[in-house]
Every structure is written in structure tokens, then in C-alpha cells.
Structure 1
Amino acid sequence: MKRVLITAGGSGIGLAMAQAFDADDYEIHVTDVNEAALNALPSHFKGHLADASAEEDMKAVFKKITQAGGLDALCANAGIAGPTAAIEDVALADWQTCVSVNLEGAFLAAKYAAPLMKTAGRGSIVITSSTAGQYGYPFRAPYAAAKWAMIGLMKTLAMELGPYGIRANAICPGAVEGPRMEGVLEREASAKGMTRDEVYAGYAVGTSMRSFVEASDIADMAVFLSSDKARLVSGQVIAVDGHTENPDPKI
């Protein structure tokens, strides 16, 4: 049985990934900082209470995965939205926290997954970036900077690890239905002097498909990228966003 680790897999996109890999007969390992979310996972999932941006936590998780038999796929999915504010109003501490969780979380997961995958001579690393990693996003400087950097990390991993049979790709979700996006909508509405519904409509109108996406859409792409059907797909930035045309929603 193949084995996958999904960081921040207790809810949202991460949970959808865990469910999709489970349906594809993977052994599921999930990290999360929310113990209640881990306790709510199906009993056959392996939950690990860990902060993806804390090195000692991730060392402990990978020690258990090594003992379990190694790793076939990694979904470096941990992330936070960070502050929504004009650049002059962004506190350094908020910038550092956002960059740490998003970028350092992906770095640590890849750092400890790579030796296991090198030993096996194969593996797939999927990093959850964002369409904010493809465009500039007003009022979202820390988040956009981190997500751009994650794409640079992914492309470097693809080049560095490719000779060992390890592939690396990034998924860039657009506006994903769910509680996290609701928080973003409320904060952007406040920052831009708009209503929540106006911002929501702006996101949808800003895509050629005129739609938000579901977490399951992101999960399906992660499973595909980790499958043999994508055996020569590496170093790619793949948006699952309904084709974003306007990254700064306006009516």
C-alpha cells in the first residue's frame, strides 16, 4: 500500500486530499495543529498533532513515518491567509508568521520527505500554493510573497530531486468555498470598503468559469499528480481556479 502525508489535513483542502487519497487506497498520514480535528478523522487515518512550521514537530512525524515504512507522496498543504491590510499597516510579526507557516512549512516537509523518497527511488511532492503565487494581490502582501516563494521552492525541488525519480509540482487553488475563504472575504470587504457579497461576486466574475472551486477539485488534482498517470509531470504550476482573469476583485 502506498503512503501519503498531508500537512494541515484535518480540515478544508487538506481533509479533502486525505479523503481522495484514501479512496485511491493510500495509507493516510495527516498533521494538524487542531487536536479536535484530528480526533474527528476516520479511525484508520494516522493523525499527528504537529505544527508544520516547527522543525522538532516535523522530525517527530517523519520518525513515525519512517518506522511505518516510508513515504510515496507528500502534500505540503499547511498554510494561513495572513493579514489583509495595506502594506504600511502590516505588522512585521504578522508578516513573519504568515511566511513561516506557508513557506517554512513546505520547506520542512520537503526536507524530511526527500531522504525517504530518495531511498525508495520514487516519490511525489505536491505543494499547495495559490493563484496569489501567480499574480500580485493588493492588501495580501505576506500571503502573496509566501506563495510565490513556494513556487520557487517547488521548481528547485523538481530539478534537485528529479534524478532520484522524485517529482514536484504546485497546485494553485483559486477561491475555494469554505470557512477560510469566508474569513478572507470579510477582511477584504473591510479593507476595500465593500460588502462581503460584492467581494464574493468579484472573485467569481474574475474567472472565466464564473465560479468558486471546491476543495475536492484541489484534492483530485493532488491525487492525479501523485499517480503514475503523471509520471513525467514535474516542475509544473497548475491552477485549479476556473481560470483567474482578475486577481483583484472589483465590481
Structure 2
Amino acid sequence: MLEGKRIVVTGAGAGIGAAIAAAARRYGAVVFGADIDPDTAVDGHYNVADEADVARLFEAAAAKMGGIDGLVNNVGIAGPTGGVEDLDPAAFDHCVRVNVGSTFRCTAAAVPLLGEGGSIVNIVSTAGIFGYPLRSPYAASKWAVVGLTKTWAMELGGRRIRVNAVCPGTVEGPRMEGVIEREATATGASPAAIKAGYTAQVSMRTLVTGTDIGEACAWLLSDAARYVSGQVLSVDGNTETLRTV
């Protein structure tokens, strides 16, 4: 499905990003994985919220792979948890800078390298299509990326570059466990109750895995989705609400 495709995946060192990179390779792509964590086994370590680092990333990726056919903007941070009156404005700004700024910077660097048939996939969240109590910085950043996805699909469609978003639901793993712990602290509920709430808010009563997200991204990166652009695809078992308590 992705034979011969050259794909950049940010945040590829662990979690969803690692699963996306693995899925792309499984379908025949050559992948350049980037991550900020120096202890991760990727092709290069870069801070994608930093413009100079982004330039170095895409220069290295294009040189190593001989060009770029696709980009997955996966980098994102959870941001602070709390009511609007309790949030640290600096922490709010940092969350938006990383989640929105890195998506903008990487896309701006990738577009000149993408030829006809190029594909960009932005990893968003169901928090980009629902309100998310106690997580306003994260929700704001993810709604913004949905807006960028729709806008860039319009801008780049004439060049036959597709732009789509994937909204993971609650993904199993250490990152989500941390979110649950912080939400439990903020609300006074137990972690078990918060986790049960995340499961109950989904029609299929399930969490999802990184592999589920990787499969969706592989399809969107492939020519099988050659006329799919400007879409927001939820991979979540059908989230009904993000209110857990």
C-alpha cells in the first residue's frame, strides 16, 4: 500500500508515533522518524517547536530518503489540567506553541518538498471535535489543528497535496495513565473512576491502541485515499462526550 513512499513521522520515538512509523514500514514505506527524546531509537532528534531544528529535520530527511512523499504531524503534549481560573497562562501558551506551532512549522517545511500526490496527516484528538472539561489548553490546540487541516486542504488541493486529520480516542498507554492521574487529582475522583468514565463515554465501550491509529494513517498516506482530503477521521469507537465525571 505504501511501497516506495517516503514518510516523515514526528514524535516517532514512542506511543502513537512509534506505532504510526511501524505501520508505514509494514506497508512498504521508507520512514524518517524524529523525536525530541535523545534516548529514543529514531533517525534524528529534533525539537519541532523550534524553527531551526525543523529546518534541520527536513533537510536530513530529504537527504536520507531522496525526497519526501508524506508527513505525519504527531507531536503533541497534554498540557496542564485544571479549571480556567486555575491555569497557569505560561503553561497554556506552551501547550499551544508545541501542539499548533510544531504542526505549522513542520507543514511549512514539508510542503516545498512534497510533489503531486503528497499527503499530510495531522494527529489531533477527539478533544479537537468535543469540549473537554479541565483541559482547555489541549482542546484549544487540537481544535486549532482541525482548522489548519481544513484550511491547508483548500490551499494545497490545486497542487494535489492532501491534508487530513486523525482523531484518536482514548489510547492505551503510559501517556493516558498520566492524564487520568492528573484528572483524578483535579477532580477528587479515583483514577479507576476516571478510567471507567473514559470507557463509558465511547459507544463501543473500549479504548483504542496505537496500532489502530497507525493503520488509519497508513491508509490516508496511500494512493488508496488519493481523493480524500480535508477530512477529520475519528478512530475512537465513537466518542459521545469527553465529560468523564
Same structural fold, with TM-score higher than 0.5 when normalized by the shorter chain = yes
Q: Which ranges of structure 1 fall in alignment gaps of 5 or more residues?
A: 42-46
Residue 35 of structure 2 corresponds to residue 32 of structure 1: yes
Give the fraction of aligned pairs with identical amino acids, expressed as a percent. 46
Counterpart code for 2:102: G
The question of whether the paired residues in 1 share the 8 Å contact of 2:46 and 2:57 is answered with yes
Q: Out of 5, 22, 26, which is 2:25 matched to? A: 22
Indicate the residue corresponding to 2:91 in structure 1. Answer: 94
Indicate the residue corresponding to 2:117 in structure 1. Answer: 122
Whole-Å separation in 2 of the counterparts to 1:153 and 1:73: 17
Whole-Å separation in 2 of the counterparts to 1:10 and 1:89: 32
TM-score when normalising by structure 1: 0.94
TM-score when normalising by structure 2: 0.96
Indicate the residue corresponding to 2:190 in structure 1. Answer: 195
Where in structure 2 are the equivalents of 1:148-159 lying within 5 Å? Answer: 148-159=143-154
Q: Out of 193, 218, 222, which is 2:217 matched to? A: 222
Indicate the residue corresponding to 1:44 in structure 2. Answer: none
Whole-Å separation in 2 of the counterparts to 1:122 and 1:231: 7
Indicate the residue corresponding to 1:135 in structure 2. Answer: 130
Deviations 1:87-136 (A, max 9, x none): 1111111011111111011101110111111xx22200000001000011
Deviations 1:136-190 (A, max 9, x none): 1110010000000000001111001111110000001110000000000001111
Aligned residues: 241
Deviations 1:42-71 (A, max 9, x none): xxxxx1110111110010011122323211
Counterpart code for 1:19: A
Whole-Å separation in 2 of the counterparts to 1:64 and 1:80: 24
Whole-Å separation in 1 of the counterparts to 2:9 and 2:62: 15
SS of residue paired to 1:123? strand
Where in structure 2 are the equivalents of 1:58-69 lying within 5 Å? Answer: 58-68=54-64, 69=66
Counterpart code for 1:14: G
Q: Which ranges of structure 2 fall in alignment gaps of 5 or more residues?
A: none
Whole-Å separation in 2 of the counterparts to 1:90 and 1:80: 16
Whole-Å separation in 2 of the counterparts to 1:207 and 1:67: 43
Whole-Å separation in 2 of the counterparts to 1:61 and 1:185: 33
Whole-Å separation in 1 of the counterparts to 2:241 and 2:197: 8
Deviations 1:7-65 (A, max 9, x none): 10000000000100111111110111111112xx5xxxxx1110111110010011122
SS of residue paired to 2:163? strand
